[in-house]
Structure 1
């Protein structure tokens, strides 16, 4: 085991510039995850603090409602953030699998392979958690300028405390290590298959069944009556989180299905290559566009907010305060837009990091295609096409899934309000353009990879 521990840093150095770039991308993903997760938790704690110690009639009567809405925002944001963190641990997975599979074939035991992976992913998570904690502190002045309940939350209210900060720094490397270990199943079970680059088994349709059942659990939970308000809120938030997380199950399966349909209808080389890549590894495509899918779900779930914000009319929500309704409506819209902005920023970060890592993972494949005479422009079109089609499918499909999940609560009233439709359409359009623009930043990286046609025995 001591020899394995000594081997770990040498393996990182042996990967060269590509592995250094992949490591930097993973650390960046963990940094974004940590900074935004702490910010979201800080906002929740700030509203809880105002609920426990209200100042004025407005906070006494409505602070508890703000806590409930804050919990909804946490549920809608924590899943994309955890997904980004899990994807970070899998960056460069094909190159890492190839190295570890070679070690397995040379006699390294499965336990030692697991130790190597845990060391590699855990230190990336630790470094990202430390930098992300600093980023959270740097963002506190920004969040403290956003007004709620008539006055912004102070930095003291948004401060999560030293224990939460320490716990986050400890938990992020553990989650990174677990995600890295999950990705090792192919190496441990069949190192020869990895070394020979055999295509992994396809995703099963049971994923769709489980995902539909998870989403349906929220719709069933909305029919429950007779429970105390707190218990009902816990059940609804739990089933909402379960259905939301199920998007990660059905997403890769749906992309693989679309890839097979595209392959059958392909009329150009770019269409065929993009479809075959989607079929070969739908999980990799989901790591790029999955963040947009989750953000689209958030947009669909919040499409009813304009209707809720305008439903109060001119009546006073707090007795003796004629401005209470306007304050509450403004805070509701402000919170919804802030949630959407964070969700789409996470989606853009996931897309850019995932696309860059995909380009690095396919270095050997690109080199072989160039040596076989494939034009560079064709490969660039394929890269763009394998993002564009899944992006549109995932963005629209996830928003539609959210509307169906929320229909037992609000019906389709949100769709009857033009402002709700405008919000949903604008968010999806802006999110797609943002993700597409971020993925285009990997074009120079692809050009540099294609400039080097030497095939490395990874």
Structure 2
């Protein structure tokens, strides 16, 4: 372990400017993940505290409904948050794998290789957690202004407590270390394969089976909700979490199929190279657009809002308040989901450019024009972006059909709302990926190709 401690700072410096940029991206991702997760959990605690208060005379007890809706929002947001955190631990993984594989070939043990990675990612996670706590503190006054149940929150209602902050400072580095260690399976097993840049094994159709089972589970629970009684809400939220999480399993597999179709239909160099890049590493492509896929699922789920809020509540102040709160909560959930998708896409695309630095530089030296490289980078994002956003929203509508029937697709307002959500979300995520364009230019400006 002494060798790991001695090598860790040198290993970090060996990556040069690229390693510093990748570290900055990872810390930013951990900070955003931590800050927004604490804000979401704080909101849940706020609704839980209100549910414990006495019901005012003459009013119906809707507190359990609000708490259930809060749990649903937590499920819809925590999965993208955890996905962003896991992706942060894998930033720059190909460049890190190459250096670690060299150490393995020079005699380093698998334990030392894992120790180096755990040390690096845990440190990034800890710094990101500290910055995320500061972000949470900055967001508290703004979140407290959101009106629910006829009043705004007090900052104290949204406070997770010092115990919550202590758990955060332990949990985030731990999760970062576990994600980083999990990404090293190829290095530990076959360092020579990494050094030779061998193509990893393709994904199997089992991913599709997992997704179908997860989605089917939610639909079955939805259809049987009436017979579950008091346990129906908990079962629905749990099944929703399972079905939602399976999108991460099936997403890369679906993108691999999209890459095969694009490859057959490619008629220009840009389309051919973009399809080959997508087919070569669909997991990397999913890391860029996966956040939008999860946000698109949220948008599809919220397409039922116009049908729900169209219920006539004339003369019922509590009903009017509930409908207004549904709209507010839905909009807040969707905005956070799309902001997460944009942050995730921008960070992942920048990391992808750095991961492909050597490949891009060699292509440029071989005579490939900068415009073609830029076109390939753009197409490798745009095609998966459109496919994933529409596919995930359609999946949400299918999953929710047992609960709401044709209400989501029969309401023109719902479909218009869904189209607007997807168009705005795609534009936001695409704009975030375009921030990597200057980074690509800086990579091409360096005419020295490092072996790395």
Q: What TM-score, normalized by structure 1, do the two folds share?
A: 0.97
Matched residue, 1:306: 306
Matched residue, 2:427: 433
Summarize the Cα distance change of 1:110–1:59 in structure 2 as closer, same or farther, 3 Å threshold. farther
Distance in 1 separating the partners of 2:295 and 2:59: 30
Matched, 1:406 2:400: yes
Matches within 5 A, 1:44-193: 44-54=44-54, 56-57=56-57, 61-193=61-193
Matched, 1:5 2:5: yes
CA contact (8 A) 2:92 2:354 kept: yes
Distance in 2 separating the partners of 1:329 and 1:227: 25
Distance in 1 separating the partners of 2:4 and 2:74: 40
Matches within 5 A, 1:18-417: 18-54=18-54, 56-57=56-57, 61-224=61-224, 225-229=226-230, 231-316=231-316, 323-417=317-411
| More displaced stretch, 326-335 vs 78-87 | 326-335
Shift of 1:58: 8.0
CA contact (8 A) 1:352 1:438 kept: yes
The superposition leaves residues 139-180 of structure 1 with CA deviations (integer Å, 9 ceiling, x where unpaired) of 001001111111111101111111111111211111111111
The superposition leaves residues 187-244 of structure 1 with CA deviations (integer Å, 9 ceiling, x where unpaired) of 0111001000011111111101111111111011123344341x22222111110110
Distance in 1 separating the partners of 2:22 and 2:264: 34
Structure 2 unmatched runs, 5+: none
The superposition leaves residues 281-321 of structure 1 with CA deviations (integer Å, 9 ceiling, x where unpaired) of 000000000000000001111111221122143252xxxxx
Number of aligned residue pairs: 451
Matched residue, 1:320: none
Q: What TM-score, normalized by structure 2, do the two folds share?
A: 0.98
CA contact (8 A) 1:39 1:136 kept: yes
Distance in 2 separating the partners of 1:358 and 1:306: 39
The superposition leaves residues 327-368 of structure 1 with CA deviations (integer Å, 9 ceiling, x where unpaired) of 111111000000000000000000000000001111100110
The superposition leaves residues 38-75 of structure 1 with CA deviations (integer Å, 9 ceiling, x where unpaired) of 00000011011111014635876212211110000000
Distance in 2 separating the partners of 1:59 and 1:210: 44
CA contact (8 A) 2:313 2:320 kept: no
Distance in 2 separating the partners of 1:243 and 1:416: 24
The superposition leaves residues 357-412 of structure 1 with CA deviations (integer Å, 9 ceiling, x where unpaired) of 00111110011001100000000000000000000000000000010001011112
CA contact (8 A) 2:275 2:380 kept: yes
Match of 2:379, SS state, is helix
Matched residue, 1:450: 444
RMSD (Å), alpha carbons: 1.2
The superposition leaves residues 244-297 of structure 1 with CA deviations (integer Å, 9 ceiling, x where unpaired) of 000001100011111011111100000000000000000000000000000000
Distance in 2 separating the partners of 1:403 and 1:414: 7
Matched, 1:423 2:417: yes
CA contact (8 A) 1:101 1:191 kept: yes
